[in-house]
Chains A and B, each alone.
Chain A
Amino acid sequence: MSNNMHTEVKQLIIDTLELEDIEVNEIVDSEPLFVEGLGLDSIDALELGIAIQKKYGIKMDAETQDTREYFASVNALVNFIKQNRH
């Protein structure tokens, strides 16, 4: 179940951010998504925020410091979605 959720979030990242050359198994659960690791940027964060809102009905607050932590890695993002989805 947990693995499925990880795969689902990775696929969401790939589809939303048009990462045409990257496959699900190339994204490491614990690695940073932004700057290092996958190398995403601030526009990607906004794009991903909207995709998560659309898919899981969770609205993220761009102003809080916590948002940075939710986006830290696939693991963090999966935990965040699990805790907040209805």
Chain B
Amino acid sequence: MSYPESGITFCIKDWAACAPGLTCQQDWQEWSAGKKAPSVDQSFDVKQVPPMLRRRLGTLGKAVAYTLCQIAWDAHIPSVFCSRHGAIQQTYKLLSDLADEKPLSPAHFSLSVHNAIAGMLSIARKDVSSITALSAGADGLWQMLLEAYGQLGQPDVEEVLCVIYDEPLPELYTRYVNDTPFTHALSFVLSKQKDKGQAMTLKSVDLHHASSARDKDTPPALQFIRFLSTDTLNQIVSTGHSNQWMLSKTE
């Protein structure tokens, strides 16, 4: 697949991010400046989700719901949900039960698909718009932006809701991948209209081209939250699977 040399340009209209103890843009500004850290309290107030659905959302699902409550609860627009590992704590529990030959929880099994959180929240939001659920390894954020940008190319699609989320891996896996320091979710609305929000350009650059590896231990979604929260930060470069991604704020 090839990308235009000049990159793709879009606008980020609204955004909301959430992690334990970091629930508003002010919190994230402080986190970005190194003045605030996530807390241990994992509860998120998501009263807008009816109780019988809410009980099926784990911590990760509630974090996602929390961000949607902030910016897009009633927005009935196409959405792209992206997570590298999905509800991995729940998946791990199911796999452990399977290994131990214990009966599986039907409720947890029924939610073990990658689009489960997106599906449940579309029921709660009474939204019948199209949903895409992505998993793209360490490139998730960038592939989500490309997917959403592609959807903006369809007739009658002015805005696309993007949601990216992950939670820490169970200890068994951390020797292979350990890329999620804490549970987090980020939702934002991607628009093609330049007058709506912050304009940005995304480019794919050769691996040897750029050098900034400062953030290699921070997952792209968290780098992106820092990018959105920090006025003085105008560019991020992130190493992907086979190239580097460069995202710049533009006029």
Q: Which residues of A contact B (CB under 8 A)?
A: 17-21, 39, 41, 43-44, 46-47, 50, 53-54
How far is it, in angstroms, between the C-alpha of A76 and the C-alpha of B21 when the chains are bound? 45
Which of B52, B103, B107, B110 is A53 in contact with, Cβ under 8 Å? B103
B residues 6-51 near A (Cβ < 8 Å) are 51
Q: Are B103 and A54 in contact (CB under 8 A)?
A: yes
How far is it, in angstroms, between the C-alpha of A18 and the C-alpha of B57 when the chains are bound? 10
Q: Which residues of B contact A (CB under 8 A)?
A: 51-52, 54-56, 103, 105-107, 110
How far is it, in angstroms, between the C-alpha of A18 and the C-alpha of B106 when the chains are bound? 13
Which of B54, B55, B103, B110 is A17 in contact with, Cβ under 8 Å? B55
A20-B55, A21-B51, A39-B52 as given contacts; A47 in contact with B105, CB under 8 Å: yes
Q: Are B55 and A50 in contact (CB under 8 A)?
A: no
Q: Are A50 and B52 in contact (CB under 8 A)?
A: no
Which of A18, A21, A46, A54 is B56 in contact with, Cβ under 8 Å? A18
Q: Are A50 and B105 in contact (CB under 8 A)?
A: yes
Contacts of A44 in B (CB 8 A): 107
How far is it, in angstroms, between the C-alpha of A58 and the C-alpha of B207 when the chains are bound? 60
CB distance from B51 to the nearest CB of A (A): 5
Q: Are B105 and A18 in contact (CB under 8 A)?
A: no
Query: Which single residue of chain B is at the shortest CB-CB distance from A19?
Result: B55
Main secondary structure of the interface of B (DSSP, over half): helix
Q: Are A47 and B106 in contact (CB under 8 A)?
A: yes
Which of A20, A39, A50 is B106 in contact with, Cβ under 8 Å? A50
Apart from A18-B55, A20-B54, A47-B105, list 15 A-B contacts with CB within 8 A: A17-B55, A17-B107, A18-B56, A18-B107, A19-B55, A20-B51, A41-B52, A43-B106, A44-B107, A46-B106, A46-B107, A47-B106, A50-B103, A50-B105, A50-B106
How far is it, in angstroms, between the C-alpha of A46 and the C-alpha of B51 when the chains are bound? 19
CB distance from B120 to the nearest CB of A (A): 12
Contacts of B55 in A (CB 8 A): 17-21
CB distance from A57 to the nearest CB of B (A): 13
How far is it, in angstroms, between the C-alpha of A19 and the C-alpha of B107 when the chains are bound? 13
Contacts of B105 in A (CB 8 A): 47, 50
How far is it, in angstroms, between the C-alpha of A41 and the C-alpha of B52 when the chains are bound? 9
Contacts of A20 in B (CB 8 A): 51, 54-55
Q: Are B103 and A47 in contact (CB under 8 A)?
A: no
Query: Which single residue of chain B is at the shortest CB-CB distance from A48?
Result: B106
Query: Which single residue of chain B is at the shortest CB-CB distance from A49?
Result: B106
How far is it, in angstroms, between the C-alpha of A41 and the C-alpha of B51 when the chains are bound? 13
- Among B51, B52, B105, the one with the most A-chain Cβ atoms within 10 Å of its Cβ is B52
Q: List 24 A-B contacts (CB under 8 A).
A: A17-B107, A18-B55, A18-B56, A19-B51, A19-B55, A20-B51, A20-B54, A20-B55, A21-B51, A21-B55, A39-B52, A43-B106, A43-B107, A43-B110, A44-B107, A46-B106, A46-B107, A47-B105, A47-B106, A47-B107, A50-B105, A50-B106, A53-B103, A54-B103
